[in-house]
Amino acid sequence: MCGITGFLGGPYSREERKDIIIKMASKLQKRGPDNLCTWIDESNHISLAHTRLSIIDKSDSGLQPMFSSNKRLVITFNGEIYNHKELKKDLENSGYQISWRGYSDTEILINCIEAWGISKTLEKCVGMFAFALWDIKKQTLILARDRFGEKPLYYGQIGKGKFSTLVFSSELKALKEHPEFHQNIDKNALSSYLKTMTVTGYNSIFEDIKKVVPGTFIIFNKDKEEQSIEKYWVLEDLINSREINEKEFHNPKIIKKNLEKLLINSVSQQMLADVPVGAFLSGGIDSSTIVALMQSQSSIPIKTFSIGFTEKEYDESRYASKISKHLTTEHNELILSPSDVTNSITTITGIYDEPFADSSQIPTYLVSSLAKSQVTVSLTGDAGDELFCGYNRYRFASTLWPLIKKSPKLLKSILKLAINLLSPSEIENILENIPISNNWNMIGDKVYKILNTLNSNNINTLYEKLISNAFKESSLILNDQFENKNFVEIPHIKLNDVEHLMLLDLMNYLPNDILAKVDRASMGNSLETRIPFLDHRVVSYAWQIPLKYKLNKTKNKIINKWILREILYEYVPKDFFERPKSGFGIPLGKWLRGPLKEWANDLLSENSLKKYNLINSKKIQKIWDEHLSCKKNHEHALWTILVFQSWCQDNI
């Protein structure tokens, strides 16, 4: 894993260019602490830089920016091409003659592009990546990103006239080092952040800076003009054209066998490295499956890592420990106290270039720090929820949503009014003796979330409400009124409501929240994380599997991730997982009333909020008072504001 950055344009001398590009790259050294190298073509006004975290071919032959064999192409690359050995064999079998300098995946990738072109090469690649490629002959710059957005890549035009420059980077902090960069907040991006706790869509928090769309590459000419945006992966097309094979996809035994084979292959490829490899183990279905498949292919104990909490109601480390013992992994755990969080909170919020308020960023950062003490690469179980129907919102869409759609507006209005008279804790007290409530954590908060969906009129508005965890209407707390729908909506496609939500998550929540969180938290510790579930062959197969084998309904209950569980139960006893689903959460509401209260008070003060003149201080103070008095639990809303205020201190 590495950091990449560069710029095209500007009236700078070679010395000025070198000074600028080194300053930009130096901000990425957490992503690549082993080397910092640059390449400058003054005559064409192009500058590239690379910071390296050595994973495969640690020798100097793997240094970047790197040339193709005929010196026509030069690349700065971040990521891993897991099938690079197969690509090399295909290239050599096709008659392509090359004298290899080393065996890095970057060298294989750039020479495949030279021989086959970029579209064909990217279609063949299995991996996660973001890269910039300069074609010396055509004088074009290509920016490319992997299929699902595992690796970040920002770009944009800054400056005017002769100072007009196209900039790009793995992180925004590098772009801020360019002399023409201006830190103007995109108010529409801020609006989306306040609702979802992340900057959604393909804009960034800064005006004029965008994200390269996953599964695409962009071609720019020497004059920085965007010539085309090409898609090399379109999941919607694959779904639209799927044909259910009666023999395979209606036989769960065959599905299980084929899916397990694909997962074993993905895990096997992603375990390859010239450095120590381990895995995150939360004790849930997804991470346990990945670790089980890793250990089944290893002759030595896999190093596993988990986080726990001193607050027992949030601590799931005991489950991870139990699974580790069964699989005989070499397990490492860290039990967090409030002081551990308070001591590292500034560092944690600071590694996210954009405001990012998914509070699971904290344990993710700390488990990455724990893992880095022993390994350089860690596999994770991320994306299992999106592919195999893991989130509670899928259950909701399958059970309650059909009833809500049919209910009269008057009935929904009365229900909403009645529930609003109760606090989440009062709702939990009422429901605690009802059996179904035993399968839900924090059911009071979930009832309030369901309440917010009652006036949804279609699946897209339902989705927006379900993932708006902070402020339902961001305009209510902004001093200026901005509302912009930044979710990536899907085109007309043959899906039921549950699958529709799953696809929206794959295109929105996964890249904007989950992948951004894991990338920044791990790279903030110079740790590479890999996600076997996001092998595109696994994703493609998963989307062919009928929904009934993911969300399996019986007379008494609904079992999510059914087909994945069937694979896991071959390695770990079923009764290890007979418990409610939990997220990777922290006791945030409690800590904001306790050890984080002083820190929060300072950031939420009237003077602090008015300093940036963006957030309505009186409305935030009311929310803060309600939370402190335990009248309501506003942890998500408050954390969203606190993170934004902390971000403003560093960026405005």
Amino acid at 133: L
Looking at residue 424, its pLDDT comes to 63
Distance, in Å, from the CA atom of 57 to the CA atom of 77, rounded to the nearest integer, reads 14
Distance, in Å, from the CA atom of 557 to the CA atom of 578, rounded to the nearest integer, reads 12
Distance, in Å, from the CA atom of 425 to the CA atom of 115, rounded to the nearest integer, reads 63
Give residue-wise pLDDT tens across range 291-347. 999 999 999 999 999 999 887 777 788 999 999 999 999 999 999 887 887 788 888
Distance, in Å, from the CA atom of 502 to the CA atom of 547, rounded to the nearest integer, reads 11
Looking at residue 548, its pLDDT comes to 94
Give residue-wise pLDDT tens across range 222-276. 999 889 999 999 988 888 877 766 678 889 999 999 999 999 999 999 999 999 9
Confidence check: pLDDT of 438 > 50: no
Amino acid at 306: S
> In the structure encoding, which two tokens stand for residue 230, read together?
């090409």
Give residue-wise pLDDT tens across range 466-504. 888 778 777 668 876 665 566 777 766 788 999 999 999
What's this model's pTM, rounded to 2 decimal places? 0.93
Angle CA(607)–CA(610)–CA(611) in degrees, nearest 5? 85
Collapsing DSSP to helix, strand or coil, 35 comes out as: strand
Selected residue with higher pLDDT from 125 and 451: 125
Residue 6 banded pLDDT, cuts 50, 70, 90: very high
| Nearest by Cα to 145 from 72, 78, 99 | 78
Distance, in Å, from the CA atom of 332 to the CA atom of 181, rounded to the nearest integer, reads 43
Distance, in Å, from the CA atom of 24 to the CA atom of 5, rounded to the nearest integer, reads 7
Q: What are phi and psi of 99, to 5 degrees?
A: -100, 105
Q: What percent of the chain stands above pLDDT 90?
A: 68
Positive/negative CA dihedral, 187, 191, 193, 199: negative
Confidence check: pLDDT of 583 > 60: no
Can you tell me which residue has the tokens 């100072």?
A: 163
Q: Under a CB-based contact definition with an 8 Å cutoff, are residues 199 and 32 in contact?
A: no
Looking at residue 437, its pLDDT comes to 46
Looking at residue 349, its pLDDT comes to 82
Q: What are phi and psi of 289, to 5 degrees?
A: -65, -45
Selected residue with higher pLDDT from 65 and 414: 65
The DSSP output letter for 492 is S
Looking at residue 425, its pLDDT comes to 64
Non-local (6+) Cβ contacts of 121 within 8 A are 87, 109, 112, 113
Q: Under a CB-based contact definition with an 8 Å cutoff, are residues 510 and 366 in contact?
A: no
Looking at residue 443, its pLDDT comes to 62
Segment 153-166 shows an average pLDDT of 94
Segment 457-470 shows an average pLDDT of 86
Q: Under a CB-based contact definition with an 8 Å cutoff, are residues 79 and 150 in contact?
A: yes
Residue 612 belongs to what H/E stretch?
helix 606-612
Distance, in Å, from the CA atom of 652 to the CA atom of 641, rounded to the nearest integer, reads 15
HEC sequence for 615-627:
ECHHHHHHHHHHH
Reading across the β-sheet that carries 165-169, which strands appear in turn?
A: 35-41, 46-52, 2-9, 165-169, 154-158, 209-211
| Nearest by Cα to 628 from 596, 650, 586, 585 | 596
Give residue-wise pLDDT tens across range 539-569. 999 999 999 999 998 877 889 999 999 999 9
Mean pLDDT of the chain, nearest integer: 90
The residue count of the chain comes to 652
Q: Is 309 exposed, middle or buried (0-12, 13-18, 19+ CB in 10 A)?
A: buried
Pairing of strands 209-211, 377-379: unpaired
Neighbouring-strand partners of residue 332:
305
Confidence check: pLDDT of 531 > 90: yes
Q: Under a CB-based contact definition with an 8 Å cutoff, are residues 625 and 346 in contact?
A: no
Non-local (6+) Cβ contacts of 555 within 8 A are none
Segment 570-589 shows an average pLDDT of 80
| Nearest by Cα to 2 from 156, 128, 157 | 128
Alpha carbon 300 to chain centroid, angstroms: 30
Q: What percent of the chain stands above pLDDT 70?
A: 91
| Nearest by Cα to 488 from 189, 202, 195, 198 | 202
Can you tell me which residue has the tokens 């209407």?
A: 473
Looking at residue 587, its pLDDT comes to 84
Q: What is the dihedral of CA 91, 94, 97, 99, to 10 degrees?
A: 30
Confidence check: pLDDT of 432 > 50: yes
Angle CA(427)–CA(411)–CA(627) in degrees, nearest 5? 30
Alpha carbon 428 to chain centroid, angstroms: 32
Residue 156 belongs to what H/E stretch?
strand 154-158
Non-local (6+) Cβ contacts of 575 within 8 A are none
Segment 504-509 shows an average pLDDT of 94
Non-local (6+) Cβ contacts of 213 within 8 A are 145, 202, 229
Selected residue with higher pLDDT from 578 and 447: 578
Neighbouring-strand partners of residue 231:
216
Segment 54-70 shows an average pLDDT of 91
